[in-house]
Structure 1
Amino acid sequence: MKYFILFLLFFGSTHIQAQKSIKKLLNKYNDKSVPYITPQELKALNKDVFLLDSREPKEYHTSHLKHAIHVGYDEFKIDSIQKKIPNKNSEIIVYCSVGIRSESIGDSLKKAGYKNVKNLYGGIFEWKNNDLPVYNSVEKETDSIHTFSLKWSQWLKKGIKVYE
């Protein structure tokens, strides 16, 4: 029993520390110009939303949220979004690895007149850290997450880290 309690204390505090660390990271790089939606809030939504993945193709092909549209970051073009989502009142959730690149893409969407844009708090990493499913390029559930680099992989606490 004593070891079980120690196990819970260690792994429970690790998850809490990860959340605090992600909070510090996002506070450092983001200005909250695009409001956050948590993984739990997104999972609980009972309506259709557009999910936009603002990572690079190799990241998206490794894993993404179900029904996400790849829009990229380096090659992002607002024109392609306006064709896919002509209604500027559509609810849009943008995500990346942790929520930094997606804030930039969300800002671009807002400047183009989209009114209901949110940024997934902690990105796909926090989604997976909360045991929520991700899908590979053939739409099969996977545990692999492209972490962009070894440095950024520290924020992913669950799943298989891929960074090549």
Structure 2
Amino acid sequence: MIFGLSFIACQSHAQVKSGTFNFTLKMLLSRDVPEITVADAAKNSGRYMFLDAREQKEYNVSHLPSTRFVGYDSFSITFLNDLPKDKPLVVYCSIGKRSEDITRKLKKAGFTNVHNLYGGIFEWVNQGNQVYDLQNKPTDKIHAYGKLWGRFLDKGTKVY
């Protein structure tokens, strides 16, 4: 019994810095796929290919470095046929809900090294990490998805 309790105590889930945002994510996400924190993804960004699971208009405003757009509504596993199944991937969206769905699809398709970015691009920016426009130039603009969700974006210029 002591082993079981220590195992539970050692388990930790990714979190974001804002308590309200973290509570919202805990309510929305299933958390049934591998997750990665923004800090870990940023620290090891050269190791990962980022996949943007937002819509084209969101991606066009800004995205993470070294990102491949895969979309959400139009997503197809065939978009990634050129990648080895063990390629280190981090999937993100605005907050992590859509990317969680895409991560699940990738796992089901046999990708073995794929993670959902907990807190998404919002937390990426909130923690002071850079995003880029379509010309690959740094920008402070972030597509905030909608006024309800944009309240979790503490930094940058919100675009709707």
Shorter-chain-normalised TM-score: which range?
A: 0.7 to 0.9
Match of 2:156 in 1: 159
TM-score by length of 1: 0.84
SS in 1 for 2:47: coil
Specify the SS of the correspondent of 2:121.
helix
Bigger CA drift: 73-82 or 23-32?
23-32
Q: Displaced runs of 4+ in structure 1, greater than 6 A?
A: none
Q: Report Cα offsets for 1:89-119 as digits up to 9, x if no partner.
A: 1111000000010000000000000011111
Identical positions, percent: 43
1: CA distance between counterparts of 2:45 and 2:132?
Answer: 20
The count of residues paired between Structure 1 and Structure 2 equals 145
Counterpart Cα distance in 2 of 1:154 and 1:99: 15
Mapped pair 1:61 → 2:68? no
Contact 1:18–1:155 under 8 Å retained in 2: no
Residues 142 and 47 (structure 1 numbering): CA distance in 2 closer, same or farther, change over 3 Å? Answer: closer
Distance 2:45 2:124 in 1: 17
- List runs of 5+ in structure 2 lacking aligned partners: 1-15
Query: Which residue identity lines up with residue 27 of structure 2 in the other structure?
Result: K
Counterpart Cα distance in 2 of 1:24 and 1:59 = 24
Distance 1:147 1:46, change over 3 A: closer
* 3-state secondary structure, aligned to 2:23: helix
For residues 104 and 64 of structure 2, what CA distance do their matches in structure 1 show?
21
Aligned partners of 1:18, 1:80: CA distance in 2, in Å? 33
For 1:77, give the aligned amino acid: S
Partner of 1:35: 34
Cα RMSD (Å) of the superposition?
1.4
Task: Tell me whether 1:131 sits opposite 2:152 in the alignment.
Answer: no
Separation in 2, partners of 1:32, 1:156: 21
Q: Alpha-carbon deviation of 1:47?
A: 4.6
Give the structure 2 partner of residue 49 of structure 1.
48
User: What is the CA–CA distance in structure 2 between the aligned matches of 1:46 and 1:57, rounded to whole Å?
Assistant: 22
